[in-house]
Each structure stands twice: as structure tokens, then as C-alpha cells.
């Protein structure tokens, strides 16, 4: 049974991440929000510390790259198929042996990201070698690939101009040519796309076969066939660069295809889709961390004017502001616990695809609602740049969108609960 307290062995990592958030990230948060696309050099120190903790074994899972997966059976039907797109891959699921309960890299990553996002979400996404592409590599790469790419920064390119939520409709093609694949297509909304050393590109080996033919490829950022089209100007997370690419006869060595190179009609999408079971709890953790930042700041601002929550009294017997704050705290707790559960299940060999989507759906929506409510509760102060609340309200929306929108998460959960595939429930 999951213990809802932070494991003692992970407390040092949590404290370290909290220190980074408060002493490094929070002070420069406004600076890089205003200086969009400027690289935050201060994060090189953070990255070096995470690398050192990981190499020493003290901080396994101190960042996104720590959330790992190992091969094994899956009993969970994957997103989009009733047969099980996650066949052969588990979110660290084989970690459970007998009755032993593990608190491992997935839970550690989630806890550390919650803390850094109390400082700044965009800066968290900008930490070198801790990108979503790194989590994708951890999800499906073989040991040799992990050894080659383990210390490099990887972005992830899934979305296309005509393909948003339906990852199975990807049109970027990969054609085998000798010992290489040739990739052609377009990718947009690639987080850390300009700064990363590698880009994990999703492409199809055969458009006529649908999602079963989709594979992910590790592409060197310096590859001449991977052409940067533009950097996006965004509502929030401005410290993080978001790129658009054109792949023009981009040649990629065959050994840089992640997972099984064969097209398998049953469960063939699993290698690619396993990425989401890795990254959705991480994005949920980002939302939980930002939600906590909003609540902490608003609680302090309200306390300064004499408004506090009396936890021994019902909400109906308190003022409107205090009652609203108590309600927001309850929403936060629900999102926090769902996120912890998804990560804990991954560490303990339990299929977590549905729980990962539940956590992402709840945390993303909660973050948006809480951020906007906190701006309202803080009045003019919440709307001005004197506090970070207005920035956090802008940052929050992306956490309800990327790694699968709110609507997609609810659809995934419905398919799991009803045991239906994408052809049966759209």
C-alpha cells in the first residue's frame, strides 16, 4: 500500500530542489519571462548539481531524465488500442519483487519537479539534460542507446501542423535507406527544441498502417536535415524556447530508432506511447508545483490583511476569501495525491497508464483554476507585476495542454474504465 508521506530517503532531494527553486529560480523568474528566448545561464549550475547527484547515486531521479522504464509484460491496454499498445514496456514496472515496496526514480523525479516548479515552470523545462526527450529515451531506449544519450539534452517532437491531440495521425515519414532512415515532415511546439542537443522525432514507417507504424527516432540537433523554422512567442513559460522544425531528407542512423524497428500490427504503437506514461506524471508534477506556489503566495498576501483559514471550522462559517482558499487547498491535495500515486505505481511494477492520465487531467485543470482564483483573491496585487501571480496564471495554461490535452486525458481514462479501444470509443 502506498505511504502518503514523502519517503525519508527522498527528503534530501526534495530539500535540494526546494533550495534551487527559492534561491536560484524564483529570483530570476521575472527576468527570463521578459527576456523571452534568452538562455538562462544560471541553470548550468543546477544541471551540474543534478548530474553530480545522479552520478553519485544519491539523487537518482533528481530530474526528468531519472524517471525510467524497464522491459516486461503489460496487462494494461494502451492508448488507442484494445489489444494493448504498451505491450513489452512498463513504467519501471518490473521494479516490484515479491512484497517489497519501492520508492524509486519515478517518485523521486515527480517530487523534485514539484519543488523546482514552485520556482518557475519555464526554467524547469530549460534545465539542460532534463527535457521531455530525456524522459522519452528513458522510456523506450535500449541499454546501448541509454549509454550513448544518457548525458545529453533531448527535446521531443510529436506535434505537427495538422496533427495535435491525435498522435496516431502523424504524417512525418521515415523511409529505410540502407543503414539509415530518411525523415521528411514538419514538427511544431518542440519544447527546448533550439537549445537541446538531440530531438526525439516521432515518424511513421508506413502511413497506410496508421499508428502501428509510428516509431521514435533520436536526431542530432546539428543534423543538416533538421531545419529550425522559428521560435514561438508564447503566453507563458517564456523562459523555455518552443521551436518549429522542417525535416528535409533528414538522414538518421538506423541504430537511432528507439525500441522495436519492426512494424507490429498488434501492440506496435507501444514503444512510442510508453513515453506518455513516463512524461504525464512529470507534467502533472509541474502543475502541482505551480499550484503550490500560487497557494503559498496567496495565503501570505491574505494573511497580511488579516484573512486566514481556520481549519477547525467549516467553510460556511468563514469569510468568502478564507472559504475559497480552503476549497483550493482541497483541489490541490487531490491533484498531489493522484500524481504521487501514478509515480509510485510505476516504481512498483503496476500498470499506470490510466492513473498517469488521471493525474495529468486533474493536476492540469486544477493548476489553471487555482492560478486564476489566486489572481482574483489577491485583487490588484494579483494582476500586477509586483507579484508573480499574474505570470503563474499565464504559465499554468500550457500544463493543461501539452503531453495530451484535458479532453484526451479524459478519453484515455474512459477507455481504460470501459475496456474499449480507440475504434470503439472516440
Distances (CA, A) of 110 to 105, 107, 286, 308: 9, 5, 8, 30
Residue position matching grid coordinates 486564476: 372
Burial annotation 321-330 (CB, 10 A radius, 16+ → b, else e):
bbbbbbebbe
Distances (CA, A) of 198 to 180, 192, 195, 344, 386: 17, 10, 9, 29, 38
Half-sphere exposure of 302 (CA within 13 A, CB side): 23
Nearest-angstrom CA–CA distance, 421 and 302: 48
Phi, psi (5° rounding) for residue 352?
Answer: -125, 15
Dump strand ranges (E) for 129-258. 154-157, 173-177, 180-191, 198-204, 214-220, 226-231, 242-253, 257-258
Torsion angle of alpha carbons 413, 417, 420, 423, nearest 10°? -20
Q: Residue 258 in 3-state DSSP?
A: strand
Q: Catalytic positions, please? A: 403
What kind and span of H or E run contains 71?
Answer: strand 70-71
Strand partners, 191: 242
CA angle 385, 388, 394 (to 5 degrees): 95
Q: Residue 151 in 3-state DSSP?
A: coil
Q: Which of 253, 271, 246, 120 is nearest to 193 (CA)?
A: 246
Distances (CA, A) of 303 to 84, 127, 184, 378: 51, 34, 56, 11
Helices (H), 348-405: 353-377, 380-383, 389-396
Contact 27, 64 (CB under 8 A): no
Residue position matching grid coordinates 491525435: 166
Residue position matching grid coordinates 534568452: 38
Amino acid at each position: 500500500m502506498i505511504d502518503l508521506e514523502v519517503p525519508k530517503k527522498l527528503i534530501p532531494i526534495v530539500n535540494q530542489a526546494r533550495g534551487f527553486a527559492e534561491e536560484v529560480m524564483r529570483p530570476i523568474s521575472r527576468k527570463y519571462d521578459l527576456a523571452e528566448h534568452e538562455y538562462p545561464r544560471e541553470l548550468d549550475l543546477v544541471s551540474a548539481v543534478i548530474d553530480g547527484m545522479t552520478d553519485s547515486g544519491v539523487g537518482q531521479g533528481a530530474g526528468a531524465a531519472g524517471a525510467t522504464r524497464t522491459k516486461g509484460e503489460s496487462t494494461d491496454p494502451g492508448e488507442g488500442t484494445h489489444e494493448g499498445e504498451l505491450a513489452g514496456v512498463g513504467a519501471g514496472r518490473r521494479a516490484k519483487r515479491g512484497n517489497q515496496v519501492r520508492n524509486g526514480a519515478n517518485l523521486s523525479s515527480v517530487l523534485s519537479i514539484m519543488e523546482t516548479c514552485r520556482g518557475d515552470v519555464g526554467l524547469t523545462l530549460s534545465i539542460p539534460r532534463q527535457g521531455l526527450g530525456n524522459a522519452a529515451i528513458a522510456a523506450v531506449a535500449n541499454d546501448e542507446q541509454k549509454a550513448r544519450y544518457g548525458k545529453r539534452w533531448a527535446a521531443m517532437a510529436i506535434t505537427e501542423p495538422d496533427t495535435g491531440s491525435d498522435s496516431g495521425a502523424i504524417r512525418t515519414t521515415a523511409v529505410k535507406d540502407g543503414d539509415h532512415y530518411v525523415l521528411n515532415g514538419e514538427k511544431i511546439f518542440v519544447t527546448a527544441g533550439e537549445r537541446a542537443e538531440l530531438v526525439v522525432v516521432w515518424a511513421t514507417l508506413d502511413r497506410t498502417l496508421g499508428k502501428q507504424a509510428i516509431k521514435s527516432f533520436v536526431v542530432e540537433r546539428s543534423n543538416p536535415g533538421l531545419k529550425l523554422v522559428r521560435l514561438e512567442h508564447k503566453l507563458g513559460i517564456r523562459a523555455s524556447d518552443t521551436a518549429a522544425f522542417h525535416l528535409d531528407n533528414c538522414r538518421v542512423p538506423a541504430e537511432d530508432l528507439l525500441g522495436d524497428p519492426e512494424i507490429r500490427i498488434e501492440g506496435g504503437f507501444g514503444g512510442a506511447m510508453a513515453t506518455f506514461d513516463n512524461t504525464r506524471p512529470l507534467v502533472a508534477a509541474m502543475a502541482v508545483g505551480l499550484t503550490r506556489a500560487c497557494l503559498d503566495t496567496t495565503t501570505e498576501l491574505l494573511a497580511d490583511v488579516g484573512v486566514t483559514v481556520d481549519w477547525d471550522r467549516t467553510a460556511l462559517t468563514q469569510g468568502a476569501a478564507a472559504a475559497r482558499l480552503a476549497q483550493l487547498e482541497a483541489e490541490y491535495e487531490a491533484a498531489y495525491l493522484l500524481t504521487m500515486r501514478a509515480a509510485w505505481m510505476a516504481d512498483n511494477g503496476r500498470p499506470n497508464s490510466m492513473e498517469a492520465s488521471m493525474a495529468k487531467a486533474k493536476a492540469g485543470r486544477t493548476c489553471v483554476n487555482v492560478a486564476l482564483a489566486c489572481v482574483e483573491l489577491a485583487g490588484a496585487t494579483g494582476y500586477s507585476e509586483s507579484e508573480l501571480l499574474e505570470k503563474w496564471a499565464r504559465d499554468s495554461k500550457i500544463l493543461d495542454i501539452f503531453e495530451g490535452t484535458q479532453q484526451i486525458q479524459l478519453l484515455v481514462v474512459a477507455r481504460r474504465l470501459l475496456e474499449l479501444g480507440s475504434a470503439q470509443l472516440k
